[in-house]
Structure 1
Amino acid sequence: MAEHETATFETATFDTAIFDVDGTLVDTNYHHALAWFRAFRRHDLTIPAWRLHRAIGMGGDHVVPAVAGDDVEERLGEQLRADWADEFDALLGEIQPFDGVRELLDDVRRRGFTLVLASSGKAEHVDHYLSLFGGADLAEAWTTSADVEQTKPEPDLLQVALEKVAGRSAVLVGDSVWDFRAGARLGTPGYGLRTGGFSVDELREAGALEVFDSPAQLHERLDHTLLAKATG
């Protein structure tokens, strides 16, 4: 972290750690992109996979207009989301957590933070993700798509995550530019992981204070971040 960025928050207090789930704790981003690609192909629409990847991290309510336009959203949006769910369900058994996730979360909690897992995924998907690394035992609370009307890059999901644990201020960990654009709207600082496929520069420009290769690397360097010790 650059010295001037450290100074910006050195007098701030943080009592909550909000971790994004998809692409940050579990390796899902490319499965999401493939499921969206196949969903569009059901309607003879070919969206390049790279464009779909660039939208992953947004909530599903934003993906269709972002990659295919408002007209396609108006005509096919709800059906495309249903088709995506069918395609993604078929891939669910392939999804794995990233190495070191449980150790990272356990250590953050031991350092005094209230731990919240923030996802805009379907409840059954989030339940499955959490089962992969024991997330329900580690986190005080978690979110799903049912908790908000608008998803990232809108900040609603992060606000709800904080409210669920009556937190005062939070540090965010995420993998996509959409995480940090949402965080910026709430004034929430955070750290990026490259696990979602976004570059270091992109994550920094979106607002990440620092970017790490993986959950394990963030864990190794935790003492040099705002997650070193809860101060709230």
Structure 2
Amino acid sequence: MTESAIAVLDIDGTLIDSNYQHALAWYRALRSVGETRPVWRLHRLIGMGGDQVVTAVGGRELERRAGDRAREQQGKEVDALLEEMAPLPGARELLVAIKERGHPLVLASSAQQRHADVFLDKLDARDIVDAWTTSADVEASKPAPDLLRVALRKLGAPPDAPSVMVGDSVWDVEAAKKAGMPAIVVRSGGFGDDELQKAGAVAIYDTPGDLAKSLDDTPLA
């Protein structure tokens, strides 16, 4: 990769410690429409876009019957948990380190706009990143590659521009693969290293801070 390679970073779960809160929010939202599912199974879907979670949980019938209601309630449940979500160790330092190396930097989030705004403020990142996305920017979210392609377009870059994805889930890795990007992963998604490697992750780190210290060993060198 050249120094101008674009860095495309996920926010939820990668920079902000939010995965388990999202799993709980989905649990509560699904219960509100009469569906009770084990939280650990819901956690396995975190990182997948909210437009796809309900179908993954209960098939097209549940999506048709209750998808919109569940998503609306999930958003409200997340609202109530936002204060508990905090940047992961070294998250802002990673953003700074990437920018200091001269990489264009875009945050590829499928969060709702109001949640993305809160996360940007928690990271104090508005003056660091070049652009960011929200769920309003795409019709199909991860593991579809649309969000990553929109992230590049936000920078005025072509779809085949040299770029690297940083995420925390197998869904991030799959989306990156479809978009033609190598994927670096942090373990905060709760997936096993074997799962992430099988999905195609090129490197795995404990925290964003660990990645920041090791950028010279990655495609963002």
Question: TM-score, normalising length from structure 1?
Answer: 0.91
CA contact (8 A) 2:12 2:18 kept: yes
Mapped partners of 1:14, 1:62: distance in 2: 33
CA contact (8 A) 1:162 1:169 kept: no
State the partner residue of 1:219.
212
Mapped partners of 1:18, 1:200: distance in 2: 21
- Unpaired segments of 5 or more residues in structure 2? none
Q: How does 1:1-232 map to 2 (within 5 A)?
A: 15-167=5-157, 168-228=161-221
**Alpha-carbon displacement from aligned partner over 1:44-76 (angstroms, at most 9, x marks no partner):** 311111110011001100000101221111100
**Alpha-carbon displacement from aligned partner over 1:165-215 (angstroms, at most 9, x marks no partner):** 123221110001011101111210020110111111111111110111111
Task: Indicate the RMSD between aligned Cα atoms, in angstroms.
Answer: 1.2
3-state SS of the aligned residue for 1:22? coil
Deviation at 1:216, TM superposition (A): 1.0
Deviation at 1:227, TM superposition (A): 0.9
Mapped partners of 1:70, 1:14: distance in 2: 42
Mapped partners of 2:96, 2:113: distance in 1: 23
- Unpaired segments of 5 or more residues in structure 1? 1-9
Mapped partners of 2:140, 2:42: distance in 1: 19
3-state SS of the aligned residue for 1:173? strand
Deviation at 1:14, TM superposition (A): 5.1
Percent identical pairs in the alignment equals 51
